[in-house]
Amino acid sequence: MKLLVIEDELALQHQIRRELIKEGFTVDQADNGEDGQFLGETERYDAIVLDLTLPTKDGTSVLKEWRDADIRTPVIILTARSRWQDRVAGLNAGGDDYLAKPFRIEELVARLQALIRRSAGLAAPQIELGDISLNTESGRVYCCGNAVDLTGNELKLLKAMMLRPDKVHSKSELSEKIYGYFEERDSNTVEVYVAQLRQKIGRYFIQTIRGRGYTIRHHACPDR
């Protein structure tokens, strides 16, 4: 899963990014409203963490312009403002949730996980498709009842596809789950990880749609 963190307090921004990476997320960051708005408009994110008080452009204005442009990425608002009117204004501008500073990183992670699940139409963290099960919070994967050990990037791709199993995921979309905006991308990365996943969970669970990308097939226990 790929996140954007827009926070001008650099120490807090780095702390949030560090902890989210530990939780298995790919994270981009910005420290002002204009750069954050640009990333939110040009990159695909599973969720965005947005501070309201930002230089160059305030978070409420950024959020309102995203929603006016029909950008529906789930957004958690961060605010040090104590007035309830400010929090209401952020939610009315299109925010999905908010956290008041100071906050626990663990709560931010839990709220992000819940937002991503809800955006995929899931009420619980456990996804079961055929004989593959995935817990989106713990990252545990089982194939035919047996635990499967995945690398961080393998898990990112599998989670992206299992959260939206009826979608055809292009290689570029899946690549964005692994690489940040400023990282150099290897064009063969997705194919390599898909091949490794097929070795671990069965050849037929991930189906190639020629010329378009990959999707999940619903079937009985995978043939290894």
Please name the residue that has the structure tokens 């947005």: 50
Burial class for 195, CB neighbours closer than 10 Å (0-12, 13-18, 19+): exposed
pTM value is: 0.77
Among 17-21, 136-140, 153-157, 180-184, the minimum mean pLDDT is found in 180-184
pLDDT in tens, 124-144: 889 999 889 999 888 999 999
pLDDT for residue 70 is more than 70? yes
pLDDT for residue 79 is more than 90? no
Query: Residues 54-81: what's their mean pLDDT?
Result: 93
pLDDT in tens, 183-223: 777 778 999 999 999 999 988 899 999 999 999 976 545 45
Give all domains of the chain, ordered by start, each with its CATH number. 2-119 (3.40.50.2300), 126-216 (1.10.10.10)
Beta bridge pairs of residue 30: 6
Rg (CA), the chain: 18
Q: Is the peptide bond before 55 cis (omega within 30 degrees of 0)?
A: no
Q: Please tell me the distance from the alpha carbon of residue 171 to that of residue 161, in angstroms, as a whole number.
A: 12
CB 20 within 8 A of CB 62: no
CB 23 within 8 A of CB 46: no
How much is the pLDDT for 197? 95
How much is the pLDDT for 135? 93
